[in-house]
Amino acid sequence: MDIQAIVERQKLFAIEGRAKDIIFRKQQLIKLKTLLQENEPMLFKAIYEDFKKSEFETYLTELGMLYHEIDLAIKNVAKWAKPKVVRTELISQPGKSYILPEPFGTTLIIGAWNYPYQLTLSPMVAAMAAGNTCIIKPSELPLNTSAVMAKIINQNFDPAYLYAIEGGVDVTQELLSYRFDKIFFTGSTTVGKIVAKAAAEHLTPVTLELGGKSPCFVFADANLKMSAQRIIWGKFLNAGQTCIAPDYLLVEASIYQSFLEELKSQINKIVGINPLESESYVRIINQNHVHRLQKLLDPEKLFVGGEVIEAENFISPTILKDVTFTDEIMKEEIFGPILPVLPFTDLQPVLHELKMRPRPLSLYIFGKDSTVQKQILHEVSFGGGCINDVLMHITNSQLPFGGVGNSGMGNYHGEAGFKSFSHFKSILKKPFWFEPPIKYAPYNKLKLRIVRALFG
Ligand code: NAD
């Protein structure tokens, strides 16, 4: 269907207020969940064809989180959408003040490829809960998942309300040329800038969910075995193609060697001795990314892995040791199954280095010393993270998820998602029974004193 025609139909639907009704919002959310559940076999098949991703991993990292977001929205949408009464200052008395959430109107969601369902449909759930119409543009790289989402949405929803448009850069650019009331983008920092510039043309608010190099500290007082277990799981899940994966490890020098051994043994336990044969180990999205990652495999620093099978889009779980901040691999987000490990002795220079770098999406700390934890949290700016775990903060819908600086702006999940797709209209309601004469001329010293006191 013609893109411009869809955008216009969605604008009309939004202007008529048809997506606003709370009952309608709930019905559509229930319908979405039912459709996803009914089509689970097709969703599992598509993602397996794109990534060789197992049903378990697809449920854990995509559908489970999505269902949870839908359930939360259905349960809370009436509460979230309610006007919220706030205090009225003396200067405006008598009066009543309240905040009225309203949908932005027509929204555009541009998804990334690495968790194609969750990263495209979870913002859509937030847009629906907030009462918007929505066009989604799934990433074009995983062809099968993009097609399956478009099929489910376009065959079952009114296109004037929800519509999926498949396509690459040209399609995204055309979409970005239209006036939307809100754009939600997940992807790279480079494309995030293109999206922000296009949105600025129409003064459209944007949420940018971007990436970056997320550091992970391991201190000597951490439980080394459990830390290695959690880090290896989080790094090699989805073959490292996770925006919040620990990008690199900063390991205290006194435990450096023993921790390297621990990491190695956990790879064997978690991913298995032969990841190529493993049904649980995901492939790299395409050959371009295989080549990009291959260039980062410095043979002199190779500690574990490094095996590349181009024809299979396979890169084995890899650890590089004795890496320094000036190495090539420390320049860009890795976004693949390569884990560089950097030893450190003094924390302060490391913190200084982190503060000089672009702000990461996540940061992780393994250790027991809460003074050190507080120091890092206080000094380093980043999107969000965990102490003694990786990735799992994303599973808590009570925690707004998003980046800062180069890793993004705005956030979502749970009520934060609803807020991200809502405008908060501020209203002061005055009665007719009294009008203080104070604000009217002629002004005099007494009135000034009274005004001073009222603001005070
Ligand atoms: P990407 O920026 O290449 O693509 C994202 C979307 O932008 C796709 O839909 C694509 O079609 C579109 N696009 C690409 N080039 C474009 C252009 N020139 N003009 C207009 N649109 C364009 O990102 P990606 O490769 O899909 O995802 C990887 C990146 O996304 C990583 O940096 C990762 O950290 C980040 N990411 C962030 C989050 C998050 O929640 N913060 C989640 C997943 C991925």
Residues 391/237, Cβ–Cβ less than 8 Å: yes
* Closest atom, ligand 1, to C-alpha of 140: 11
Task: Report d(CA 394, CA 65) in Å as an integer.
Answer: 9
Task: Report d(CA 266, CA 229) in Å as an integer.
Answer: 6
* Of 124, 165, 166, 172, best ligand 1 pocket probe by most atoms within 8 Å of the beta carbon: 172
What does DSSP say about strands 206-209 and 408-409: parallel, antiparallel, or unpaired? Answer: antiparallel
What does the block give as tokens for 275?
């990841």
Phi and psi angles of residue 265, each rounded to the nearest 5 degrees, phi first: -70, -30
47 burial level (CB within 10 Å; 0-12, 13-18, 19+): buried
What is the residue with the minimal CA distance to atom 37 of ligand 1?
Answer: 210
* Closest atom, ligand 1, to C-alpha of 113: 26
Q: Which residue positions in the chain have pLDDT lower than 70?
A: 1
Q: How many CB atoms lie within 10 A of CB 286?
A: 14
Is the preceding peptide bond at 94 cis, omega within 30 degrees of 0?
Answer: yes
| 110 Cα: distance to centroid of ligand 1 (angstroms) | 8
Name the catalytic one among 69, 209, 333, 415.
209
Annotated catalytic, 209?
yes
One-letter identity of residue 152: I
Contacts of 213 (CB under 8 A, 6+ apart): 247, 248, 330, 332, 333, 334, 357, 358, 360
What is the residue with the minimal CA distance to atom 10 of ligand 1?
Answer: 139
| 52 Cα: distance to centroid of ligand 1 (angstroms) | 21
Task: Report d(CA 220, CA 227) in Å as an integer.
Answer: 11
Residues 204/302, Cβ–Cβ less than 8 Å: no
Contacts of 228 (CB under 8 A, 6+ apart): 259, 262, 263, 265, 266
* Of 136, 139, 332, 363, best ligand 1 pocket probe by most atoms within 8 Å of the beta carbon: 139
Task: Report d(CA 62, CA 357) in Å as an integer.
Answer: 31
* Closest atom, ligand 1, to C-alpha of 191: 2
Name the catalytic one among 57, 134, 216, 243.
243
| CB-defined site of ligand 1, < 6 Å | 110-114, 119, 137, 139-140, 168-169, 172-173, 186-188, 191, 194, 209-211, 243, 333, 335, 361, 403, 408
* Closest atom, ligand 1, to C-alpha of 408: 41
What is the residue with the minimal CA distance to atom 34 of ligand 1?
Answer: 211
Q: What is the pTM of this model?
A: 0.96
What does the block give as tokens for 220?
């000597």
Longest dimension (CA), the chain: 87
Q: Nearest CA to 240 among 169, 136, 320? A: 320
Annotated catalytic, 49?
no
What does DSSP say about strands 248-252 and 314-315: parallel, antiparallel, or unpaired? Answer: unpaired
What is the residue with the minimal CA distance to atom 43 of ligand 1?
Answer: 243
Residue with tokens 């819908």: 397
Q: Helix crossing, 22-38 with 40-51: angle to 10°?
A: 60
| 290 Cα: distance to centroid of ligand 1 (angstroms) | 17
Task: Report d(CA 380, CA 205) in Å as an integer.
Answer: 27
Residues 16/105, Cβ–Cβ less than 8 Å: no
The SS3 of residue 99 is strand
